[in-house]
Amino acid sequence: MRSISAPSDPMRDPLLIEASWYDGRSAVRHEGEAVWEGGPALVLRNGDDRFDIPFSDLAYGERRGQTDVYRLASNPGFRLSLPHVLPPDLAARMPARSDYGAWVDKLGFGKAALIFAVVSASLAALFLTAPTWLGPRIPMSWERRIGDAMVGDLGGRLCHTPAGDAALAKLLGKVDPAGQAVRAGVFNADMVNAAALPGGQVLVFDGLIQQAESPEELAGVLGHEVGHVHERHVMTAMLRQFGLSILLSGANSGIGDTVFGLASMTYSRDAEREADEYARARMAQSDVSPIGAASFFERIGGRGGKEPEKPASDEGSMFDWVASHPAPGERARAYRAAVDADATYRPALTDREFAALKSMCADDPDVEEFDLF
Amino acid sequence: MDRQAPSRDVTPDSAFGFDGNWKDFAKIALPNQMLTILTLGIYRFWATARERRYLWAHSRFVDERLEWSGTGRELFIGFLLAAAVILLPLFGLNLLIQSLTLRGEEALAGWLTFVLFLGVYYFTGLARFRGLRYRLSRTHWRGIRGGSDDQGLGYGVSYTWKSFVGYLPLGLLVPWSMTSLWNERIGKMSFGPHRFEAHAASGNLFARFLLFYLLPIVLVVGLTVAAFAGYGIDQARGGEAIPDLGITGMLILAFFVWFFVLGLVAAAFYAKYYREVVGATEWADLNFAFEASTMDWIRLYLGDFLLVVATLGIGFTFVKYRHWKFFMTHMEAGGEILLDNLTQSTTRVAGHGEGLLDAFDIGAV
Ligand SMILES: [Zn+2]
């Protein structure tokens, strides 16, 4: 047993406590006493050797069975072992014991856990809702700059012919009558897909144009993507993905998860419905029949009901960020329900214009073919 | 006056010991797990420090316990540094590659992908080095710590090229790259005033490695023959009558044989590997040994598997406990330590934790 003498008046009778220490310079262990005379320092005594250790220099290390190990701020290798149970007036001078880490120790486990839970839940709520209100408030010019930095001119893969460009512009005018900052292009890739890229650039893939049987079908798809741009869904999706990756960076430590998590951005179901609603409203304004769009989705839904606009061949590419759409059957019904019996619909494009759009990529000698490696 | 003789004889069967128990560890690990979840993962740095403090404190080397002096705060700072210095640039590079691909600059994108690939290897090597250095610098024994004055930048280069050379001749030089990297890494570390030295040779590993290397081929051939035999049984029984029984049965069997036999052979290789590299490691007048047999390794991993499955994942937090205990109980050392000569390490102490290591998810305990 270690002996402790506890005198009534520490100023006259010093406290003697059995102690052992390593001096931090060599591995030799020293045994002796710690003496406290009531002053601001402990005196370590080992035979004739004695030296002072100011309380302000002591830091708590850890508990070792019936002893506590203390460290010195001024000498990182120094270790002092004292009995766990000390006379109360000395214990009051020793540095506080710590276990979990400063904050949790101060608050206690239960209180700390509760505070952490509340803070985490509010942070999670903030991160999950922020994109929805923050996205539309980010200036379109910023988004355009981000978009240009990310995709540029798409490596010359947009098809251009004078007649085709004119037809596309006319069609865009039908679904974007206000003529806002939307750019549309036909992307030279043989996939049934369309996408809204950051910066208000809408792409209709040539593969989708070849599938279309009437200009009204294209108007539905184009209107949907323009809807994503107008409702600022692209920015919202980018922010949500960004926020999620920050939120998860605490929990996951692999770089893989963070890097590749960003490449899998999708819109919410609500965003998809809003984009469709936008398309139907603009088409109604421009007297474009929704039946074309309905039959397009029906035709595609008939082929196994798979998501039509999600290409299988370019997984992991940027187009997966922006193109993932709800089941076509549901969308077809919504378009059919939008048919107004009293309206007089006019063709969205003339036959000649529609043909120009169809042959746009074949007729453009300069366009680059799209393939990933 | 020192009551102890200034030197310690290290007898091989008592140099290292572990006297922790999982119930005490659970009192640390389970609240840690809860706080980690409640703080969205941020507490895990402090959790790691607490768990290591327990594991180190219950580990004995000769006549004194180890002590972990690392803190959660420095691990957290290390993580932030690694995120800023490594992860953000890697992430930016990845975005740049995607963007270049879309712009039609496939050749440049291809080169950058290669650079990214090399970068990941380089930083993996650097992270392993820094992780070991950090752990040694926070491990105290009798007040003395370890460390390294090397930054590990050169080791990152070695790790990259030796890994590639190891894979190049159909992977046959992998044992060489493993032992040579061990020698290089350990040889740059020190404890107190003394450097570690390692001279592991790959020749001793090669037989086991060939077993590991050739067995899949033997298995594929064997199982194919067996599958055809199974098909033959089907045919003999009249083909249509009992369809699939032979082939499906064989496939399921093949699956189990594959993982069971490969796991066994991998354990045999790693057991030999650790016996070789630890056995070839020296420090001052001490030599080390790692006595875990192939069966010990199999029991370790089988135990991990059962622990995690039986507790639906909650037991995962005990895996590090089991591995540390495995390490401490199988580690041996022989020789003599002169305590007077074992003076404090003069290596500089990195102010932050193993952030880089953490970011790449490499780590033992
Ligand atoms: Zn959409």
ipTM for the assembly: 0.76
Which of A153, A255, A262 should we substitute to test contact with B (largest number of B Cβ atoms within 10 Å)?
Answer: A255
pLDDT, residue A353, reads 93
> Is the same domain home to A245 and A266?
yes
**What mean pLDDT comes out for the span A244-262?**
47
Q: Map residue A255 onto helix, strand or coil.
A: helix
Q: A368 in a domain, yes or no?
A: no
More confident residue, B26 or A196: B26
pLDDT digits (tens, 9 = 90+) for A18-52: 999 998 888 889 999 988 888 888 888 888 888 88
Q: Which of B58-62, B260-264, B350-354 has the highest mean pLDDT?
A: B58-62
pLDDT band at A259 (very low <50, low <70, confident <90, very high): very low
Most confident of A145-159, B248-262, B299-313: B299-313
pLDDT at A314: 32
Q: Across A29-43, A309-323, B4-18, which has the greatest mean pLDDT?
A: A29-43
Residue A234 domain flag: yes
Task: Choose between A243 and A144: higher pLDDT.
Answer: A144
Average pLDDT over residues A160-188: 87
> What pLDDT shows up at residue B39?
83
Residues of chain B neighbouring A104 (CB-CB closer than 8 A): 35, 46
Same domain? A93 vs A106? no
In-domain check, residue A253: yes
The answer on pLDDT for B323 being more than 70 is yes
Nearest to A254 among B98, B140, B361 (CB): B361
**Mean pLDDT value of segment A196-212:** 85
Question: B334 - beta bridge partners?
Answer: B287
- Pair A302, A164 in one domain: yes
Beta bridge partners, A277, equal: none
The phi, psi pair for B73, rounded to 5°, reads -60, -45
**How many angstroms does the Cα of residue A225 sit away from the middle of ligand 1?**
6
Q: Answer whether residue B76 shows pLDDT above 80.
A: yes
Residue after which a domain boundary falls, among A110, A135, A160? A135
Token reading at A299: 């035709």
> A3 lies in a domain?
no
Asked if residue A4 is part of any domain, the answer here is no
pLDDT at B280 over 70: yes
Q: Among A62, A78, A247, select the one facing B40 at the smallest CB separation.
A: A247
Helix axes B106-137, B153-167, angle to 10 degrees: 120
Bigger pLDDT: B102 or B29?
Answer: B29
Same domain, A144 and A262: yes
pLDDT digits (tens, 9 = 90+) for B199-214: 988 888 888 888 877 8
Q: Which residue has the higher pLDDT, A180 or B165?
A: B165
Of the residues A135, A154, A189, the one at which a domain ends:
A135
Interval B52-62 mean pLDDT: 92
CA of A138 to the centre of ligand 1 (A): 20
> pLDDT of A118-162, one tens digit each?
888 888 788 777 778 888 888 888 888 877 777 666 767 889 999
Residue B145 β-bridge partners = B140
Distance from CA of A26 to the nearest CA of B (A): 4
| A275 and A354 fall within a common domain | yes
Say whether both A318 and A187 belong to one domain.
Answer: yes
Minimum Cα–Cα distance from B50: chain A residue: A100
Model pLDDT for residues A94-106, shown as the tens digit of each residue: 888 776 666 777 7
| Arithmetic mean of pLDDT over chain A | 78
Per-residue pLDDT of B164-185, as tens digits, reads 988 888 778 888 999 999 999 9
Q: What is the pLDDT of residue B10?
A: 61
Q: Are residues A85 and A22 part of one domain?
A: yes
Other Cβ atoms closer than 10 A to B137: 22
pLDDT 10s digits, B326-353 = 999 999 888 888 888 888 888 877 766 6
Q: Average pLDDT, stretch A294-317?
A: 51
User: What's the whole-number mean pLDDT along residues B100-124?
Assistant: 83
Under the banding of pLDDT at 50, 70 and 90, the label for residue B6 is: low
Residue A372 domain-assigned (yes or no)? no
Beta strand pairing status for A201-205 and A183-187?
Answer: parallel
Residues A253 and A354 in one domain: yes
**Mean pLDDT value of segment A115-119:** 87
pLDDT of residue B235: 56
> What φ, ψ does residue A165 adopt, rounded to 5°?
-60, -40
- Which of A98, A116, A366 would you mutate first to test chain B, the one with the most B CBs within 10 A? A116
B/e letters for A4-28, b = 16+ CB within 10 Å, e = fewer, are: eeeeeebeeebbbbbbbbbbbebbb
pLDDT score recorded for residue A325: 58
Looking at residue A102, its pLDDT comes to 66
Interchain pair B40, A71: CB under 8 A: no
Coil/strand/helix, residue A299? helix
Residue B258: phi and psi, rounded to 5, are -55, -55
Give mean pLDDT, residues B261-283. Answer: 88
Residue A354 clears pLDDT 90, i.e. is over it: yes
Pick from B50, B87, B339: CB nearest A100: B50
CB environment A308-329: b (16+ within 10 A), e (fewer)? bbbbeebeeebbbbbbebeebe
Whether A115 and A206 map to the same domain: the answer is no
> With 70 as the cut, is the pLDDT of residue A252 above it?
no
Strand partners, B16: B61
Contact state of A262 with B91 under an 8 Å Cβ cutoff: yes
Cβ B42–A250 below 8 Å, yes or no? yes
Q: Is A5 within a domain?
A: no
Q: Could you give the 3-state DSSP secondary structure of residue A121?
A: helix
d(CA B207, CA B215): 12
Distance separating alpha carbons of residues A219 and A222, to the nearest angstrom: 5
Q: What is the pLDDT of residue A81?
A: 92
3-state secondary structure of A211: helix
State whether A205 and A316 are in the same domain. Answer: yes
Of A224, A309, A236, A339, residue with least CA distance to A274: A224
Select the residue of A27, A250, A368 nearest B339 (Cβ to Cβ).
A27
Q: How many residues in total does chain B contain?
A: 365
- For residue B355, the chain A residues in CB contact (below 8 A) are none
User: Which residue in A has a C-alpha nearest to residue B93's C-alpha?
Assistant: A259
Nearest to B358 among A104, A157, A253 (CB): A253
Output the pLDDT for position B161.
93
| CATH number of the domain to which A85 belongs | 2.30.29
Task: Tell me which chain B residue has its CA closest to the CA of residue A69.
Answer: B67
Q: Are residues A119 and A171 in the same domain?
A: no
Interface A-B, measured as beta-carbon pairs within 8 A, has a size of: 152
End-to-end CA distance of chain A: 76
Indicate the angle between helix axes A328-337 and A291-302, nearest 10 degrees: 160
Sign for the CA dihedral angle at A99, A104, A108, A112 comes to negative
Q: Could you give the number of structural domains in chain A? A: 3
Give the predicted TM-score (pTM) of the model. 0.70
Per-residue model confidence as pLDDT tens digits over B134-164: 999 999 999 999 988 888 889 999 999 999 9
Ligand 1 centroid distance, CA of A293 (Å):
14
Domain end, chosen from A114, A135, A156, is at A135
In the prediction, which pLDDT does B9 show?
A: 62
What does the pLDDT read at residue B247?
A: 64
CA distance A313 to chain B (A): 15
Which pLDDT does position A313 carry in this prediction? 34
Which range is least confidently modeled, A309-313, B214-218, B303-307, B328-332?
A309-313
Q: What is the rounded distance in angstroms from the CA atom of residue A293 to the CA atom of residue A334? A: 10
Same domain, A70 and A197: no
Q: Could you list the residue range(s) of the whole structural domain that residue A61 is in? A: 15-98
